[in-house]
Amino acid sequence: MLSRLFIWLQYILPQHAISRLAGRAASSGRPWLRDRLIRRFAKSYRVNMAESERGLDQFSSFNDFFTRSLKPGSRPLADAATEVLSPADGAVSQLGTIKQGRIFQAKGQSYTATELLGGDAALAAKFDGGSFMTIYLSPSDYHRVHMPVGGSLNSTAYIPGELFSVNTVTAENVPRLFSRNERLSCVFDTDHGSVASVMVGAMIVASIETVWSGLVTPHRKSIDIQQFGGAAGPAPKLAAGAEMGRFLLGSTVVLLFEPGKVHWSPELKAGHTLRMGQSIGTFAD
């Protein structure tokens, strides 16, 4: 009953208005609001501040706290020459093979790679038969997103959409959740083919930042595609494990690899907890 009510509210609540209000509060530098938000959040979600480079009283806003950097050595990297690195702290939502262009979301739910990538059927075709992994970042997690493999940025697509909450309940009950929510698709050229890292927003996710262009302006009405390299100018090159972006209040990362490129670690299953930089698979090529 509570799950049904929660889902019903997802459809009727003004998702974008709520998210804008949350964004304003999260970016506020007013001490009375900032300090209260940070301390209550850290206590409620048992945030491990021992890993943070700064203490609770050293942040300029809640967003500054939420996207906090970690002390050097907090996330050692696996061998990037042979292994795929986890792009974030979080939990595996799903993983597997992209079958007939479809990505498994939850029991009875799936969506197409074409939808996820903003309608780019040619790009989606590259990943048909390939591997995907969906990683959910909980509120207490480190919210910077890193490179699972080194590569050069080929293109990005900001794709407007809805802002359903992302959790087990919505994944099981909201059709095409990850291809409906607002998101940023980033495609990289790597030694292991094209790799897509899609940062999916959710309710109260204020916005997304990338290291190459800064804040991605949210709530546009049309898809915004940017090309990199060639006539478009030098493409940003990022090493495996390097930061690529961050969530200002965050959600989910979906990774896509071409067929025959990776083998996911056999112990990984839905619900498995990950740390950024750990091995999540090996390269097959």
Q: Which residues pair with 200 in a beta bridge?
A: 183, 252
Note the Cα 49 to chain centre separation in Å: 22
Clarify whether 141 is annotated catalytic: no
Task: In the chain, count H helices and then E strands.
Answer: 8, 18
CA torsion angle 91 96 101 103 (round to 10): -30
Residue of 93, 155, 194, 251 marked catalytic: 251
What's the chain's Rg over C-alpha atoms? 18
User: Which of 52, 61, 89, 141 is flagged as catalytic?
Assistant: 89
Q: Is 57 among the residues known to form the active site?
A: no
Q: Is 160 helix (H, G, I), strand (E, B) or coil?
A: coil
Is position 251 annotated as part of the catalytic site?
yes
CB atoms within 10 A of CB 151: 25
SS3 for 103? strand
User: Are 143 and 92 contacting, i.e. CB atoms less than 8 angstroms apart?
Assistant: no
Q: Give percent helix, percent strand, percent coil of the chain, each to the nearest 5.
A: 25, 35, 40
Closest CA to 210 of 197, 223, 219: 197
Cβ-based neighbour number of residue 6 at 10 Å: 14
Nearest alpha carbon to residue 183 among 167, 197, 168, 169? 197
- The amino acid sitting at 222 is S
Q: How far is CA 234 from the centre of its chain?
A: 25
Residue tagged active-site, from 86, 146, 185, 192: 146
By annotation, the residues acting in catalysis are 89, 146, 251
